Amino acid sequence: MTSADIFGSYVLDLQSIKKRLPKPTFHALKAAIEEGADLGNAHADTIAQAIMEWAMSKGVTHYTHWFQPMTGLSAQKHDSFLAFDSDLKPIDRFSGNQLIQSEPDASSFPSGGTRTTFEARGYTAWDPSSPAFIMHNGEVPVLCIPSVFFSYTGHALDQKTPLLRSMKKLNESASAALELLTGKKLTVIATMGWEQEYFLVDEKWFELRPDLIMAGRTLLGAPPAKGQQMEDHYFGAIKNRVLAFMEDLEGRLYKLGVPCKTRHNEVAPHQYEMAPIYLNANLAADNNQLVMEIMRKVAREHNLAVLIHEKPFAGVNGSGKHLNWSMEASDGNNLLEPGHSPQNNLLFLYFLVAVVKASHKRGNLLRATIASAGNDHRLGANEAPPAIMSVFLGSHITKILNTLESAESFSEETVANIDLGLAELPNIMVDRTDRNRTSPFAFTGNKFEFRACGSAQSISFPIAVLNAAVAESLDEMNAKLENLSSVDEKSVFELLRGFISESKGIRFEGNNYSQEWEEEAARRGLSNDKTTPEAYSAWKSEEAAKFVEKTGFLTPLELSAVYNVRMEHYAKQLEIEAALMLRMIDTYILPPAFTYQGEVAASISALKETLGESALAVKPQTENLERLSGTIASLLTERNTLEKLWLETKTLETEEEAFSFAQKVLPQMAKAREHADQLEVMVDASAWELPTYQELLFQM
């Protein structure tokens, strides 16, 4: 069977369910998806019955409301279709109420202060814009109903709700812009194509590394003699074992409607990437959650382990998740696609400037959306974009914007020159635009590529903030557009000139890795939040409060929860990592080091006894023992300092605790690691229990 034959076979999308519903019910469902209309009980019951019959035809006996709490993972609670009729006979039943809403216990999910401790009740509600699907846990199929998750008081407790609100807000603002510019009433969606990077290691090595199991990254480990310096892994031939995993994974994802398109080796050994065809941003976010969940299961079946952490190995590239974002109107036009006609060019410029303006005004919040303990290890490390948000447009668009900004007046000749320059763009984007891999937010022909997102992160919240920021910019631009006496090229160009000028500080065409850019960014007043707690502080600002009030994608209480939940998660993650490092030093590093030290000392004593203390062979061996003993002593000193800092830090309140972990504990962990890694290459390899980087990265 081909990919097309199996694609979506475990998904009940709109076209599939249309065949199973009466016309009035289908139209009601479509209105609910497109306009947010209320379904009504009768229609809901009919839809639920159709979904159950489809699921049972696939062997399903249980269903779940599949949702995305603020943990960044997906969650589910399974319920059976089994019920009893009035005569107590067993029947299968799935009502409209069961489809639309469920009530899981919310007490064990992070809430960030949106509920009190004793308020355990939470609700999931069906998101009809994302189709139901069947997930297999081993051989057991379960019907999954994509849902939002909220508290008893109605506050969002998940990642999906802010995304859906932001999609709605972006549609309102972008549609208003289109109507002002073209007179057409169209709807607009955000589109998204993610690129998921990950590592694969042999499961037998993974199971012997407590740090990979519990922290997702190696806390200790000396670099191998060969890393990625030969540049021979990127786009290289895929190993048979890895290819078998990829084929299996893609086959399952095709059945779930995930349109996987590309796969290849990445830069580091045993690092890979997959990417799909672009979709509606809400569906793309759901798909990415599915991918991260399913690839772990499939890897285990192939005796492999997937590592989605941003920096599982020191000394080689970490993993990111590029987010390719654009806007599409209901007439099929990509609003960030430069065209050949003046009308298309005007739209393109208007929406392009709106995105640049949004990035400039809300750059610190975009930075905060991708901050995490894992991502701190890769941002700004000459392998990923820096912590400074900037926008790359390419030399041709930059020249056009500079022309617009500097034009004293918009004569017919000036307008014609701008039109001509824009008309050349489609070819230029293909032929001459450098992608500038160092930029965190780059225009790449017909979309913006947000490159700073971490590989393990849910993409829902970064997209939500980007959607809302662009909507806010469009609202401000639309307000001025409405006041124009006439909407023509000259007047719109004149309007855009001011927005181009005020936002040009975010634009940068050079090397984002350079020290010169860091200094220049400081002069421009751009934020450079190098740690996660610094970045999260943006959520406490007055500007953040104004932003959510204007755009409505979060309530003020939910904004506070975002800060509290994320700061607490960061502190907990670092607390676990520090405790784990201490335990590994005590149980995996020091015991073989002590044993080997004793063996070397005994060997030297025997040598002295045989050859005499003045023998030439004695001195270099004694110096070797001194180096070994000195490294052990240094490790013990740094280990004890780490333990003291860890014990002090974990008693602090959450905010202070997070900053202490970032500023004190993490640097001390690096000091302890340096000596532990030195011991790895000094001690007898046969006595070393932890799998080394050589085994993890080169043996599969």
Query: pLDDT, tens digit, for every residue of 610-646?
Result: 777 777 778 888 899 999 999 999 999 999 999 999 9
* Every domain of the chain and the residues it spans: 3-157, 165-554, 570-698
The C-alpha atoms of residue 455 and residue 448 are separated, in whole angstroms, by: 18
Mean pLDDT of the chain: 90
DSSP H/E element including 97:
helix 96-100
Angstrom CA distances, 439 to 313, 381, 508, 532, stand at: 23, 13, 8, 19
The C-alpha atoms of residue 553 and residue 160 are separated, in whole angstroms, by: 11
User: Does residue 339 have a pLDDT over 50?
Assistant: yes
Query: pLDDT, tens digit, for every residue of 21-48?
Result: 999 999 999 988 888 788 888 899 999 9
pTM given for the model: 0.93
Confidence of residue 226 (pLDDT cuts 50, 70, 90): low
* DSSP output for 10-57: TEE-HHHHHTTS-HHHHHHHHHHHHH-----HHHHHHHHHHHHHHHHT
Between 134 and 605, the more confident residue is 134
pLDDT of residue 413: 57
Domains 165-554 and 570-698 equal at CATH topology level: no
Confidence of residue 562 (pLDDT cuts 50, 70, 90): very high
User: Does residue 431 have a pLDDT over 50?
Assistant: no
Between 97 and 196, the more confident residue is 196
Query: pLDDT, tens digit, for every residue of 284-327?
Result: 999 999 999 999 999 999 999 999 999 999 999 999 999 999 99
Q: Is 551 strand, coil or helix?
A: helix
Packed helices 590-611 and 618-649: angle between N→C axes, nearest 10 degrees: 160
The C-alpha atoms of residue 157 and residue 114 are separated, in whole angstroms, by: 8
**Mean pLDDT along residues 123-144:** 91
Between 341 and 684, the more confident residue is 684
Tokens found for residue 248: 């299996």
Q: Where are any strands of DSSP class E within 78-221?
A: 78-80, 82-84, 90-92, 101-102, 122-126, 132-137, 140-151, 188-202
User: Does residue 118 have a pLDDT over 50?
Assistant: no
pLDDT of residue 409: 58
Is the Cβ–Cβ distance between 313 and 697 less than 8 Å?
yes
What's the CATH superfamily of 165-554?
Glutamine synthetase/guanido kinase, catalytic domain (3.30.590.10)
Q: Is 149 strand, coil or helix?
A: strand
pLDDT of residue 616: 73
Tokens found for residue 545: 């409060």
DSSP H/E element including 153:
none
The C-alpha atoms of residue 148 and residue 158 are separated, in whole angstroms, by: 7
Confidence of residue 419 (pLDDT cuts 50, 70, 90): low
Q: Is 110 strand, coil or helix?
A: coil
Query: pLDDT, tens digit, for every residue of 251-289?
Result: 999 999 999 999 999 989 999 999 999 999 999 999 999
User: Does residue 425 have a pLDDT over 70?
Assistant: no
User: Does residue 135 have a pLDDT over 90?
Assistant: yes
Confidence of residue 607 (pLDDT cuts 50, 70, 90): confident
> Residue for token digits 């979709």?
279
**CATH level 2 (architecture), domain 3-157:** Roll (3.10)
* Of 71-85, 358-372, 581-595, minimum mean pLDDT range: 71-85
The C-alpha atoms of residue 16 and residue 50 are separated, in whole angstroms, by: 11
Q: CATH for 570-698? A: 1.20.120.1560
Q: Which amino acid is at 550?
A: K
**Mean pLDDT along residues 536-563:** 96
